[in-house]
Amino acid sequence: MQFFQINRGASIVRLEEVVKMIMLASLPIKCLEATILAIFLTQGQEYLKRFTISFVSEFNGKVFRHVVLGIYSSGLFGALGLSRRENLMYKPLNFPSLSLLINNYTQGYHGHHHKLLRVKIGLPISHRPYMLEKIQWKGIIIPFNKGYTKKDINNILDHYSRFLRGSTNAIIKKSLPNISSDSFKTAKKQQNPSYRKVIRLGMVRNKSDNKVSSSLSISSTWRSVTNLPIINSKLARSQTSTNSYEVRI
């Protein structure tokens, strides 16, 4: 039974009201509520970089969804969250790279005989959000069932982790694996108005000199989504609802 309904498209300010209700009621919660709660419990601790990590897996023909809050501090990655499985929830801050953290979850899924379909890693969550700012759940989408090598996936994760750490403000196309041009098409547009005008990664036109740049610069907002191709997949097109998190491991 799910006691609290979480609207993943709601503003951070609105979600704060739900968090207060969760703490006041002290009722059992699931992974999505735990992730939202972790966001607000770490709010203001600016030494922590925070981002969501969403998993989609399959077992016996059924699709399972799970989400945790990824964290980064002092050169180490970890995660906060809940799960019925001990190795799919909280992870201490002792992973030197994002790829090692994701690989640890991947091994956990394999240990439970789940086929991991894809992983979504969100954009950094601000400690000082503006009034209508929302949690951006899709920063990068990595399909694990499309034949990409572990080296390619780790390369993508390590490059994206530089952006999460704040050590770079651009994703350079030539530094990514040699995959099809479809890999750099944006995913579904975010509900936030600033995300509606999306552009193709690696093809940004410079207004000053009317030339095409090879990198996607980030100023005040990150407007594009790095999405490895998921072709002819109804699972990729279906919109994730709150109720989908009721079925999890």
Sequence ranges of the domains in the chain: 12-167+232-246
Q: Does residue 127 have an active-site annotation?
A: no
Q: pLDDT value at position 130?
A: 86
pLDDT digits (tens, 9 = 90+) for 62-81: 999 999 999 999 999 999 99
Q: Does residue 208 have an active-site annotation?
A: no
Q: Does residue 241 have an active-site annotation?
A: no
Choose the catalytic residue: 54, 83, 183, 224. 83
d(CA 78, CA 84): 18
In the predicted structure, residue 61 carries a pLDDT above the cut 60: yes
Interval 12-37 mean pLDDT: 92
Q: Are 66 and 57 in contact (CB under 8 A)?
A: yes
pLDDT digits (tens, 9 = 90+) for 102-125: 999 999 999 999 999 999 999 999
In the predicted structure, residue 1 carries a pLDDT above the cut 50: yes
Interval 23-39 mean pLDDT: 93
d(CA 226, CA 153): 12
pTM across the whole model: 0.70
Choose the catalytic residue: 31, 114, 183, 224. 31
Choose the catalytic residue: 54, 57, 66, 224. 66
